[in-house]
Amino acid sequence: MAAPYRMMGIVNVTPDSFSDGGMYLDAEAAIAHGLLLAGEGADILDVGGESTRPGAEPVGLEEELRRVLPVIEGLAQEARSHPAALQLSVDTSKAGVARAALAAGASLINDVSALRADPQMAEVVAGSGADCCLMHMRGDPRTMQQDPRYGDVVEEVRAFLRERLEFAVAAGIARERIVLDPGIGFGKTDAHNLELLRRLDELASIGQPLLIGTSRKGFLGRIRAHAAGAGEPGGPSARLAGTIASNVLAYERGASVFRVHEVAPVADALAVAAATLGATWTARNAGTRART
């Protein structure tokens, strides 16, 4: 029986991502890493050529295409012989990159701007029949962590996601193909991130699949350091336990797509969570996954 959630493995083809920047710049290395994640249980591979870490500088269209297209083409070729359905996603806010990636074999557009950065993006997604993920972000990667403030972060994120959902549907994107992402770490303080996780069921009530991306993020390291009485948080490699905990909690509160760097351990934890929560939870969430 298929799991009531989907694993999205991260394939960063960037020199400056906060966790693994520069590790998979070579297309062959990125393809091999993607296949490793698929072997660990990834249902989706999310290929990105522009870092969205806090303070990241934008990347030009041609450079982003140069980074991601060979990887998507290589993974698409490998996916044809993959024993399970493997969906390819491109993490971009540029319509030109999305269009080329879809032609190369991608079928999901993961847009951190929620179709706001490029006025042609909605048309590209609608015309292709692809799935898309719409994320909440305050500002852009260069400015998003400059004193983010909210009255009620959950209510404001919920209203934003509802508005972008309706915009996408009005633009011709099928509702059942849309995933929503509250944007953990994108224009939020640590307290905002925790409040969103704590009240994630309020976002799930929108009725769309929810994607959660907490993997290796800085707030997990700061929580760990505070609990241990340490002066400085550990680096990204020390955040696996926090990644697992936050994803399990998010699953219990209604998330169904999990974007992670390390697929196998998070998938194992979610399998235990799903077995523990049992058929009642599975039935409650039936039909909320995006069609692939």
For the ranges 21-30, 43-52, 93-102, 109-118, the lowest mean pLDDT is seen at 21-30
Report yes or no on 208 lying in a domain: yes
Could you tell me where the beta strands, DSSP code E, fall in 186-277? 211-212, 257-260
Reading across the β-sheet that carries 178-181, which strands appear in turn? 178-181, 131-135, 108-111, 87-91, 44-48, 6-12, 257-260, 211-212
Report yes or no on 292 lying in a domain: no
Report yes or no on 291 lying in a domain: no
Report yes or no on 76 lying in a domain: yes
Report yes or no on 154 lying in a domain: yes
Q: Per residue in 163-198, pLDDT tens?
A: 999 999 999 999 999 999 999 999 999 999 999 999
The residue segments making up the domain with residue 85 are: 6-284
> How far is residue 80 from each of residues 2, 5, 7, 91, measured CA to CA in Å?
20, 22, 19, 21
pTM: 0.90
Task: Kindly report the backbone phi and psi dihedral angles of residue 215, in degrees, each rounded to the nearest multiple of 5, phi listed first.
Answer: -55, 120
**pLDDT class of 19 with cuts at 50, 70, 90:** low
What letter represents residue 264's amino acid? A
Task: Kindly report the backbone phi and psi dihedral angles of residue 146, in degrees, each rounded to the nearest multiple of 5, phi listed first.
Answer: -85, 90
**pLDDT class of 105 with cuts at 50, 70, 90:** very high
Q: Per residue in 219-238, pLDDT tens?
A: 999 999 888 887 777 788 88
Residue 88 belongs to domain with CATH number: 3.20.20.20
For the ranges 64-68, 116-120, 283-287, the lowest mean pLDDT is seen at 283-287
Q: Per residue in 54-96, pLDDT tens?
A: 767 789 999 999 999 999 999 999 888 765 689 999 999 999 9
Averaged pLDDT score across all residues of the chain: 89
Mean pLDDT for 258-283 is 85
Q: How many domains does the chain have?
A: 1
What letter represents residue 129's amino acid? G
Provide the annotated active-site residues: 217, 259
Q: Per residue in 208-221, pLDDT tens?
A: 999 999 999 999 99
Identify the pLDDT of residue 273.
Answer: 95
Nearest to 46 by CA among 217, 188, 215: 215
Nearest to 215 by CA among 18, 29, 6: 18
For residues 210 and 183, the answer to whether their CB atoms sit within 8 Å is no
Report yes or no on 185 lying in a domain: yes
Identify the pLDDT of residue 84.
Answer: 66
**pLDDT: is 231 or 99 the higher one?**
99
Report yes or no on 289 lying in a domain: no
Report yes or no on 98 lying in a domain: yes
